């Protein structure tokens, strides 16, 4: 793979794949066959942990949606409706949001039932239904929805010694001043022209990102600084993945020491259950957890009154994490999670500023990286 090249398939290819999907169905109708859509099943039961690749991926189960099966014909029609909307948008160069697609496709179908009564049915009742169909199309045509020009909220920010090209403009992410580059929905359409950095630092919290950016941490430490603002969205995850995959950069994730933070790390690293069909493109199996770790409470002498008592929900969540294979197979993580459950204590990143405002950037992060004290 050429380093940093555009990863999105060209528009014509997107249109071709969408048309091909529709053509197969049309042809079977014309041949007098039963029209059927084959879609990989996106349920927890069909989500498997690929131990070798360290990824949550979709299993082999596929569902056949037949137009003639009364229980499936609605989903069948929804899929074709959505396909036609997406294809129309691509042909006309539009960039609808997932909510736009929901509204555009939403209409009432009137029909006469077998008892002769006039009845009506909505094409879909809420956005969960239309989103689910978009996901079906994603897996069926093997394209991210971003590749299909579908828009959504984008939370991520990035700065560092790195040049990208987008819409013909070269953008130097080391020249954003006090601001940052807001990561666009379709990261694969960016060309990464050059990267001059030793690692990627992903911080959970936006305020910490702002602070490290204002201090020019990334310049002094030759790193790329990223935030996904809590639970990261697809675009932020895709950006981190590309930096790891195409530039072989180590990726460190910095979160609070609590179940929520641990899970955020694992989403960057292994993928999320609900988007397991995209892990291959979104997850960064090489990501490491920099902290804050429960063991840091002792190691960095976090004062007692900075420690927050874990709630029952935190503990319950930590026990769930312990049952996930991608935590379970790591001895270090099992120790960490057991320690968390045993102590029932959580700590925020900001608690480190008890040692001075410079402690996080001048001691904690560099020390953790240089001594290799991270979990994975």
Q: Report the b/e string of 44-62 with b at 16+ CB within 10 A.
A: eebbebbeeebbbbbeeee
220 binds a second copy (CB under 8 A): no
How far apart are CB 209 and a second copy at their closest, in Å? Answer: 9
Least Å distance, CB 189 to a second copy, is: 6
Under 8 Å between Cβ of 22 and 83 = yes
* Residue 95 binds a second copy (CB under 8 A): yes
For a second copy, give the closer residue by CB, 37 or 310. 310
Residue 223, helix vs strand vs coil? strand
Residue selected from 47, 186, 236, 295 as contacting a second copy according to rule CB under 8 A: 186
Paired strand residues for 40? 62
Residue range at the interface with a second copy (CB under 8 A); choices 33-41, 47-55, 282-290, 351-359: 351-359
What separation in angstroms does the CA of 155 have from each of 101, 206, 235, 253, 274?
21, 10, 8, 17, 19
- Residue 59: CA count within 13 A, CB half-sphere: 12
Question: DSSP 3-state assignment of 243?
Answer: helix
- Verify binding: residue 119, a second copy, rule CB under 8 A: no
- Which residue in the set 220, 303, 311, 342 belongs to the binding site for a second copy (CB under 8 A)? 303
Eight-state DSSP code of residue 116: S
Site for a second copy contains 354 (CB under 8 A): yes
Distance CA 352, CA 268 (A): 23
Residue 200 near residue 249 (C-beta atoms within 8 A): yes
Q: How many residues bind a second copy (CB under 8 A)?
A: 66
The answer to the question of residue 325 lying near a second copy (CB under 8 A) is no
Nearest to 213 by CA among 170, 154, 158, 155: 158
Site for a second copy in 254-293 (CB under 8 A): none
Among candidate residues 247, 250, 292, the one with its CA nearest the CA of residue 269: 250
Q: The tokens of 120 are what? A: 């009506």
Selected catalytic residue, list 67, 95, 102, 103: 103
**Residues 147, 238: contact at Cβ < 8 Å?**
no
Give me the DSSP letters along 333-346: HHHHHHHHHHHTEE
Give the residue, chosen from 210, 245, 246, 338, that forms a contact with a second copy under the rule CB under 8 A. Answer: 210
Smallest gap from residue 314 Cβ to a second copy (A): 18
Position 108 contacts a second copy (CB under 8 A): yes
Structure tokens belonging to residue 266: 């694992």
Rounded Cα gap, residues 168 and 242, in angstroms: 20
Q: Shortest approach of a second copy to residue 341 CB, angstroms?
A: 24
Q: Between residues 102 and 333, which has the closer beta carbon with respect to a second copy?
A: 102
- Of 68 and 357, nearer to a second copy (C-beta) is 357
Sheet holding 191-195, edge to edge: 169-172, 162-166, 191-195
* Contact pick of 61, 99, 222, 313 for a second copy (by CB under 8 A): 99
Contact call for residue 161 and a second copy (CB under 8 A):
no
In the complex with a second copy, the residue whose CB is nearer, 24 or 152, is: 152
Pick one of 32, 177, 301, 371: the residue that binds a second copy (CB under 8 A). Answer: 177
Cβ atoms of residues 262 and 337 within 8 Å = yes
Contact between 151 and a second copy per CB under 8 A: yes
Least distance CB 206 / a second copy (angstroms): 4
The verdict on whether 110 is a catalytic residue reads no
Contact stretch for a second copy (CB under 8 A) within 111-119, 275-283, 303-311, 322-330: 303-311
Strand 191-195, strand 162-166: pairing: antiparallel
Q: Decide if residue 35 touches a second copy (CB under 8 A).
A: no
Taking contact as CB under 8 A, which single stretch among the options 68-76, 161-169, 271-279, 366-374 is the one that binds a second copy? 161-169
- Residues with a known catalytic role: 103
Give contact residues for a second copy (rule: CB under 8 A): 88-89, 92, 94-100, 102-104, 106-108, 122, 149, 151-155, 157, 164-169, 171, 175-186, 189-190, 205-208, 210-211, 213-215, 229, 303, 305-306, 348, 350-351, 353-354, 356-358
């Amino acid at each position: 793979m050429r380093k940093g090249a555009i990863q999105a398939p060209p528009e014509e290819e997107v249109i071709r794949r969408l048309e091909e999907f529709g053509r197969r169905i049309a042809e079977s109708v014309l041949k007098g066959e039963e029209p059927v859509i084959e879609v990989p099943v996106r349920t927890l039961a069909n989500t498997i942990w690929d131990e070798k690749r360290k990824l949550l991926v979709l299993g082999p189960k596929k569902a056949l949606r037949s137009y003639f099966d009364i229980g499936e014909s609605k989903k069948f029609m929804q899929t074709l409706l959505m396909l036609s909307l997406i294809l129309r948008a691509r042909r006309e160069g539009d960039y609808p949001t997932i909510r736009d697609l929901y509204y555009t496709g939403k209409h009432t179908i009137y029909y006469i039932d077998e008892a002769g009564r006039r009845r009506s049915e909505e094409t879909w009742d809420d956005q969960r239904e239309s989103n689910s169909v978009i996901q079906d199309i994603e897996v069926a045509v093997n394209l991210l929805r971003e590749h299909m020009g579908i828009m959504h909220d984008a939370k991520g920010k990035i700065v560092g010694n790195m040049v990208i090209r987008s819409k013909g403009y070269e953008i130097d992410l080391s020249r954003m001043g006090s601001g940052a580059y807001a990561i666009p929905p379709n990261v694969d359409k960016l060309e990464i022209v050059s990267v001059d950095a030793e690692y990627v630092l992903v911080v959970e919290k936006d305020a910490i990102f702002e602070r490290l950016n204002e201090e020019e941490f990334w310049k002094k430490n030759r790193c790329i600084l990223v935030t996904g603002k809590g639970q990261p969205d697809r675009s932020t995850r895709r950006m981190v993945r590309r930096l790891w995959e195409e530039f072989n950069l180590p990726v460190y994730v910095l979160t609070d020491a609590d179940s929520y933070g641990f899970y955020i790390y694992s989403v960057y690293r292994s993928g999320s259950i609900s988007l397991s069909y995209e892990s291959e493109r979104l997850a960064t199996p090489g990501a490491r957890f920099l902290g804050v770790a429960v063991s840091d409470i002792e190691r960095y002498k976090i004062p007692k009154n900075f420690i927050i008592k874990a709630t029952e929900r935190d503990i319950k969540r930590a026990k769930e994490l312990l049952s996930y294979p991608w935590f379970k197979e790591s001895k270090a993580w099992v120790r960490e999670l057991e320690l968390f459950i045993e102590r029932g204590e959580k700590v925020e990143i900001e608690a480190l500023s008890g040692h001075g405002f410079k402690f996080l950037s001048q001691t904690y992060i560099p020390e953790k990286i240089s001594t290799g004290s991270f979990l994975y």
